[in-house]
Amino acid sequence: MTDGLIVVDKPAGWTSHDVVARVRRVCGTRRVGHAGTLDPMATGVLVLGVGRATRLLGYLAAHDKDYEATIRLGATTTTDDAEGEVVAERDAGAVTDEAIEAGLRGLTGDLLQVPSAVSAIKVDGVRAYQRVRSGENVELAARPVRVERLDLLAHRGCDLDVRVTCSTGTYVRALARDLGDALGVGAHLRALRRTRVGRFGIEAARPLADVESDPVVVPLAEAVGQAFPTLQVSEQEAVRIAHGQRLALEVTVSPSGVFAPDGSVVALVADRDGVAQPICVFR
């Protein structure tokens, strides 16, 4: 298979690892990974790397993301989403749009967010959700996240449709939980669809069935050009970067992709004290 990216529209009921395993079989290689987990109940953009493009995934995962979500007011669950057991219910019929808008504004900007205990975060080397399922009481530390946008699209009875733009590491189900707390009625995440990871939007995502029948891979050079700002260098400079040397190039956004005159991708570079430092070399 060509080294590159596959953008999948993940179906509900599949874990991100399930999708990776299926694409490994389709592509005939174990060098497949993903750029950011989606919960089984969630659908939408899941960016996969194949071959050498797996080295891009950590940088892609750091990009901001868009989601469309449905929040159910009036019920809290053990997992902060619809897959958990309901632990408390309250009447949410009197909650006004004005109160909802105020609650959403309070969850916008730079936040310290406590992730859901049922998450993939490791505690002393063990996933938090594994500790919870074994009966432990897990309390995770708050982490800094940024919610750029949290807009109310519709208010349908006890359900709120919202659109979210947020930094990596943000848990949308934790936003649902915290909104319910702010409104005094409790809440959980009812549905979630990721519509963008960095520069890859839902329009670029293909259903998993289509990927299985025709695994089109965005080639490595094209993928880097789509996902990151680009810099053009001479062949001599490309050789130096390929050998890990710094160059006196202005890198306004880190990381940026460096391309040789023949159009091949050489490396990702980052700004280090005003010079370009190779951080991921492909040549």
Enzyme catalytic residues: 39
For residue 135, report the phi and psi dihedrals to the nearest 5 degrees: 100, 0
- Helix or strand (DSSP H, E) at 57: helix 57-61
Sorted by where each starts, the structural domains of the chain and their CATH numbers stand as 4-63+199-219 (3.30.2350.10), 65-197 (3.30.2350.10), 228-281 (2.30.130.10)
Mean pLDDT of 110-128: 78
Assess contact for 283 and 258: CB atoms under 8 A: no
* Structure confidence at residue 277 (pLDDT): 96
Instruction: Measure the CA–CA gap between 129 and 112, rounded to whole angstroms.
Output: 21
Assess contact for 265 and 230: CB atoms under 8 A: no
Strand partners, 89: 75
Pairing status of strand 4-10 against strand 43-50: antiparallel
Instruction: Measure the CA–CA gap between 27 and 1, rounded to whole angstroms.
Output: 6
Inform me whether the pLDDT recorded for 46 exceeds 80: yes
Instruction: Measure the CA–CA gap between 120 and 126, rounded to whole angstroms.
Output: 9
* Structure confidence at residue 165 (pLDDT): 98
Q: What pTM was estimated for this model as a whole?
A: 0.92
Question: From the CA atom positions of the chain, what is the Rg in Å?
Answer: 21
* Structure confidence at residue 1 (pLDDT): 65
Which of 67, 171, 259 minimizes the C-alpha distance to 179? Answer: 171
Q: Using one digit for the tens of pLDDT, what is the confidence trace for 178-225?
A: 999 999 999 999 999 999 999 999 999 999 999 999 999 999 999 999
Which of 76, 267, 38, 82 minimizes the C-alpha distance to 190? Answer: 82
Assess contact for 265 and 232: CB atoms under 8 A: no
SS (H, E, C) 137-190: CCCCCCEEEEEEEEEEEEEECCEEEEEEEECCCCCHHHHHHHHHHHHCCCEEEE
- Tell me the torsion sign for CA atoms 133, 134, 136, 139: negative
* Structure confidence at residue 122 (pLDDT): 73
* Structure confidence at residue 2 (pLDDT): 83
Q: Using one digit for the tens of pLDDT, what is the confidence trace for 216-263?
A: 999 999 999 999 999 999 999 999 999 999 999 999 999 999 999 999
Residue 60 CA, distance from chain mean position: 8
